[in-house]
Amino acid sequence: MQLRCFVFFIAFVLINASKKRYDGNLLLSVIPSEEEHLEFLFDLESRSEISIWNEIRRNGSVHVMLDKIKQAQLTPLFQSRHMEPTVLINDVQTLFDDEERTLRVQARDGFPRSIVDTFYTYEQYSSWLNQMAAAYPNLAQLMSIGKTYENRNIWLIKLTANSGKPKKTILFDFGIHAREWISPSTGGYLINEFLTKYAAGGDAKTILDNWELHIIPILNPDGYAYTHSRDRMWRKNRKPNGVCTGVDLNRNFGYKWNTGGSSGDPCSDTYHGGSAMSENEAKALENYATGKPWTTYLTFHSYGQWWFTNWGYSKEDPPSYQLLKQKAQIGANAIQSVHGRKYTIGSSSQLLYVASGGSEDWTRGVLGIIYSYCLELPPTGSPGFVVPTSEIKKTGSETYTGMVAYLKSF
Ligand SMILES: [Zn+2]
């Protein structure tokens, strides 16, 4: 028994020794009010002086992670620009340690946690998907739509009922950015809810009787696995690019690719890749989605509580802008009705900044899906990506209500 404990202890030490640590890093809030401030932040990030957690916007709180030395260097520069730096999180590593401790305790206390209670690893998520597909053969069909660089399956689960009715079709994806854990968990919540509630009738039955839901729960499996094993703050996929690793998949899509708001530097967090659609994950989505008659497309990120319409690449109004906003409002109102959390609706480039190569621009520009949206799940502020496990049910339940209302509006 003692030997077994010792082996577990050594394994735990080895696993944690290989994890990237952020000791002494803190999270600051700064408020850029001028174009020059935005450029200052983008420049600091491109030189890896800081890491920006949320979406940069003028007159909004931008969350900047940096170490104590950089804090001492940059605070006077922020102050001289009247960007009002305030501390949101004093020690980011403590946040990661707490999260890891919670997941470890949940994993070993003998009670198998469900997808709505804890953040699954890629392996746990994969076996759960297989179990659900086996348990609900008349409602769910699981398939792999491609393999990643590290040879993981990119799963897609199709949910629909044999109702004999003509079906509308929605394509959902989650987890395109690795560190945004609440996104795949919300996907899991939706899958779980639709499958387990169908038999009772109600909304789950109404939706699956009239829709095909094509759900990619983790579009970036390698990156997601890496956030569990090595670096909680990883965003890109894991394909090597010479000196650095990874492409920002949400800058790699092939509509107006590399036309602003992405980086050509392979070491940048927003590296757009060597060419449009160069990445396996983007190609998997392209191969699956092309040629099918989609009613709508939704991609889920975190965080900020935004419901973005096109375009990302341009500040021009997208076609049918009023219609797009009205449709989004139906979903956002329903979300707000559950816990009071409000989403801001509009074109991402107009509300924030230009960013090209996003999946929702590609689904609109190339596939022609008019109702293509990008959602940024909660929260709006601290603790950003590292939300407590209780947030899975909270975000999941309101998102489910929002999706039901949104889909019923078609
Ligand atoms: Zn994201």
Q: What pLDDT score was predicted for residue 1?
A: 46
Q: Are residues 124 and 50 in the same domain?
A: no
Q: What is the mean pLDDT of residues 348-365?
A: 96
Q: Answer whether residue 270 shows pLDDT above 70.
A: yes
Distance 183 CA to ligand 1 centre (A): 9
Q: Are residues 129 and 84 in the same domain?
A: no
Q: What pLDDT score was predicted for residue 41?
A: 95
List pLDDT tens digits, range 121-162: 999 999 999 999 999 999 999 999 999 999 999 999 999 999
43 neighbors 265 (Cβ within 8 angstroms) = no
Q: What pLDDT score was predicted for residue 248?
A: 98
Distance 197 CA to ligand 1 centre (A): 29
| Residue 6 resides in a domain | no
- CATH code, domain carrying 383: 3.40.630.10
Q: What pLDDT score was predicted for residue 305?
A: 98
Strands (E), 176-292: 211-216, 240-241, 244-245
Of 99, 193, 286, 376, the active-site residue reads 376
List pLDDT tens digits, range 5-31: 555 555 555 555 689 999 999 999 999
Q: What pLDDT score was predicted for residue 342?
A: 98
Q: Are residues 127 and 178 in the same domain?
A: yes
List pLDDT tens digits, range 221-263: 999 999 999 999 999 999 999 999 999 999 999 999 999 999 9
List pLDDT tens digits, range 152-184: 999 999 999 999 999 999 999 999 999 999 999
Distance 177 CA to ligand 1 centre (A): 5
Q: Are residues 217 and 326 in the same domain?
A: yes
Spatial separation of the C-alpha atoms in residues 211 and 203, rounded to whole Å: 12
Contacts for 260 with CB less than 8 Å, ≥ 6 apart = 313, 354, 355, 356
286 neighbors 277 (Cβ within 8 angstroms) = yes
Q: Give the range of the structural domain holding residue 39, as residue numbers without chain letter.
A: 18-90
Q: Are residues 248 and 312 in the same domain?
A: yes
- CATH code, domain carrying 79: 3.30.70.340
| Residue 103 resides in a domain | no
Distance 164 CA to ligand 1 centre (A): 37
Q: Which of 56, 90, 124 is the last residue of a domain?
A: 90
**Percent of the chain residues past pLDDT 70, beyond the cut:** 95
For the chain, the average pLDDT equals: 95
Q: Answer whether residue 402 shows pLDDT above 70.
A: yes
Number of domains in the chain: 2
Q: What is the mean pLDDT of residues 60-66?
A: 96
> Is residue 49 among the annotated active site residues?
no
**Which whole-number Å values give the CA distances from 255 to 67, 287, 289, 355, in the listed order?**
37, 15, 15, 11
**Which whole-number Å values give the CA distances from 323 to 37, 302, 333, 370, 377, in the listed order?**
33, 24, 15, 10, 22
Q: Answer whether residue 287 shows pLDDT above 60.
A: yes
Distance 312 CA to ligand 1 centre (A): 13
